[in-house]
Structure 1
């Protein structure tokens, strides 16, 4: 993959994180990336997400926590506007 594309995409992801939760740092960017990708998988291939959730119940719980964290950060950020 082209380095320039990676850098540009990372910039997009950083800005998306900032717009979603009001700030961006490497940990938040990674969380938002996981949240976005999992959300897409769950919507586009529900059987795959279901299988993953059943195979890794601890990961499912971790993903629930991550989704809730992003949701709360987003709600706090929108309330400040």
Structure 2
């Protein structure tokens, strides 16, 4: 089934990006991927969504900040080894 294959790819992406493959982290990664794709391919839609759902925009900012923090920690750990 394609869903299982996509799930495996997303899990690997989460591992490579953040070093965290917990269910919560994978769900954050899925939201990040979807939002990022929409923002790049249809910026007007993302802008509209941000205006209609400012709390959603704030939640996405928190998710992105969390992913960036985890990525920074992972890169620093790899640099030290």
- Selected match of 2:27 from 4, 26, 30: 30
The RMSD of aligned alpha carbons is: 0.7
TM-score norm. by structure 1 comes to: 0.92
Structure 1 outlier segments of 4+, above 4 Å: none
Aligned residue for 1:54? 51
- Selected match of 2:5 from 8, 12, 19: 8
Q: How many residues align?
A: 78
| Residue 62 of structure 2 corresponds to residue 45 of structure 1 | no
Aligned residue for 2:61? 64
- 5+ residue gaps, structure 1, are none
TM-score norm. by structure 2 comes to: 0.92
Q: Report the alpha carbon displacement of residue 37 of structure 1 after superposing the two structures with TM.
A: 1.1
- 5+ residue gaps, structure 2, are none
Matches of 2:14 and 2:39 in 1, distance apart?
20
Matches of 2:57 and 2:40 in 1, distance apart?
15
Q: Report the alpha carbon displacement of residue 36 of structure 1 after superposing the two structures with TM.
A: 1.1
Q: Report the alpha carbon displacement of residue 56 of structure 1 after superposing the two structures with TM.
A: 0.5
